[in-house]
Structure 1
Amino acid sequence: MDFGKVNVTVEGGFDIKLPNMIKVHQEFNGEKINDIESHLSKELAEKKVLENVKGKRIAVTAGSRGIKDIDKITKKVLDELKAAGAEPFIVPAMGSHGGATAEGQKHFLENYNITEESMEVPIVSSMETVQVGVLDEGIPVYCDKNAFQSDGIVVINKVKPHADFKGDYESGLVKMMVIGLGKHAGATSLHKQGFDTFHTLLPRAAQVFLKGAPVLFGLAIVENAYDDIMRIEAIHVEYILEREKDLLKLAKENIARIKVSEIDVLIVDEIGKNISGEGMDPNVTGRPGSMLKEGFDVPDIKKIVVLDITKQSHGNGAGIGMSDISTTKCVSKIDLGTMYTNSITATILDPAKLPVLMNNDKEAIVIALKTCNRVDPTNAKIVRIKNTLELDEIEMSVAYMEHIENTKELTIASDSYSFDFNENGNLFE
């Protein structure tokens, strides 16, 4: 998309004094698994989930969310299945992502080094589904046709707080089954009911799915706030619903947060589907596309500026609409068809709307400050983050100095410095 130059009249212009910034280290619980593959091999053996798979075709899910070392985890599961005599293959399980096409979903997995060559198994990508059951009110529940026709399904996913609602089951194995493996049909069927129903709808749909589809076991992953893996659990099919609730509690206790109560302007360097379902995680920003804000423990943020979209998103800029200001450079990278397909399927359109657009990063930041009521730009509380996944080192304006010095989880990591823009008005990378 070519927007041309945005000509806007701003009282006082764009040459205002911005506050100095400092790098700040945020400390979180650092518990993690150091040797992923050894841990996983031991876990699969101890839980005895690979018994009786000899000679069977086993479908292993691969989703669209970014998970640390997901290629190593997936490859290890595949290798263990083959060692037990099974014939595994990969099924993309990502609802409507990847443009809701078979080729698009297979291509999406390349972002995570999940290819037929690297995994040494076929990737069977299709949007065909089978209806495996129906809820009491007539809502159909679907499963990927190839997974359904296999002899068993291994469901792999990260368990984490969802971006649009709160409940006992949010993002995890349950959602991977009924929406991820449900493909475009399943995602549409359930999202049409609205996120305000998901806290009860998802577990009921999962019960139907588990009765109708040949799920072998689940592999649940929990990450710490540094985006490292702290827990991997193989869960027998009959215990998936019970165990996922406990793992979600653990995930919520270890989610990364910005440890302040108020932010005048939050600058987000990049958003993307590999970062969050909504581009930038509402568990950090407090801006879910569903507008169901209850349960989000976040700072009070006046304005959000988004500067870029990750390459891994392949043009899906969903989440840009939850910002207040962006740039023409950033939004020009959006593929409207891909973004709209995702948002229409989810039935929430606000994340796909365009914010106020300026010509460069400096103009966007200045407009954000000038539209914060009763805020002196030179003393503004500004926070800059790379994205909502990587929050261990962030940038904060000097207005936070006293707060930093009085908060044990925050450590100053640099001298103060001014914003550094290039000749085009964009921040140096």
Structure 2
Amino acid sequence: MRKNQRVLVLAALSGVPFIMVLGNSMLIPVLPAIRDALNLTQFRVSLLITLFSIPAGIVIPLAGFLSDRFGRKKVIAPALILYGLGGVVAGLAAIFFKGGAYPAILGGRILQGIGAAGTAPIAMALTGDIFAGRERGTALGIIEAANGLGKVVSPVLGALLGLITWYAAFLFFPLVVVPVVLGVWFLVREPESKREAQHLRQYLHSITRVFEKKSAMLLTSFLGGAAALLILFGVLFFLSEHLETVFQVNGVRKGAALAIPVLFMCVTSYLTGRVIKRRLALMKWLVVVGLALMAGSLASLGFFQNTYLFFAAVSLAGVGTGLTLPCLNTIITSATAAERRGLVTSLYGGVRFMGVALGPPLFGVLMGHGLPVMFWGAAGLAGVTALLAAVLIRVRDMRGPSPAGAGKEPAPSPPAKAALSGEARPVYGLALRKR
């Protein structure tokens, strides 16, 4: 693949996680406005995040199976269309039902979540299919950076749209879906692979065998991804309330403030993807360091209440997330064969969505017990996960299955035998007979 082709392919694939992450992050700045407009409790408004993420987490394994069976693009394109359609349902409900729109908006969010199941995790699997070797780590770092960039842009974008009306964000989704669908369908060429026409039961059995061999590494990696995003979205949910109630910061200024920790995460994700390449041991320890950095920065906020320290700590937590996620992405995609990669990465994407779903309501509950309890609880989760990663993620488990016959010398073909006997000589890899 030429360099300009690689750029176009990565741009199209990066658009998938970029718009997927808008589904939650763009709403966070306008949650207080939605709460006031629909007269909701803090818990009920948090369900707009949760009921997007839980359906996505549930449906993702099915999307992964379908992508392994029928092809990645055939799942990504319809999923993106369904994602945009959910935004249309939520936006029109807000226009026509006014104050009674909450149940219909939740229905639109559930529809969006089902569509989101076939987006970023499948794009990650497709990236793993297209790029190999050292290019894979870089490509997956760019994909994670695009995810982070979406989180950076979305609070500001959500705040700007909120200046129009509180439901404008819902109607924005279909507008950004169309160019991404076209880019993936026409610019990305999916590699041909042998897709076995096996029953779901047989397929799940083969996946079970992968987990039997690498269960400790895979499950720890899943926990790391879920914990990192639970903490990130919990902090953003808290920050949205805190900026408005304590600092009287709202509108675009609040969106820019929310973007600070995510900006650090985005830049770190990109740099991490550039650095890791195929350095398996480095990936493991960057995961450990990233989670430990999150734990330490959040624990400090339980002891000190200072505005400057607060933003420094959440920024360091963003750096820790940016160190952790690209490495986990590469570990997950590299540890399995291409024929099973769709479901394994989708299971990983599913637990990441569950982390996003649990973050806002969990932090909402912990906020009622005081800020130190909230921050120490989050730090404890990150710290325990870092310890598990240090012990259970092993370098030998990160390597993908070897192709059949790897490590054996192939039997010489007839032309090769002739070459060895002097009847032919190799020139630029071709056997040319002597005249």
Q: Say whether the fold is shared (TM-score over 0.5).
A: no
The structure with the greater share of residues assigned to helix is 2
* TM-score, with structure 2 as normaliser: 0.25
* TM-score, with structure 1 as normaliser: 0.25
Structure of higher CA gyration radius: 2
Higher relative contact order (CA 8 A, sep 6+): 2
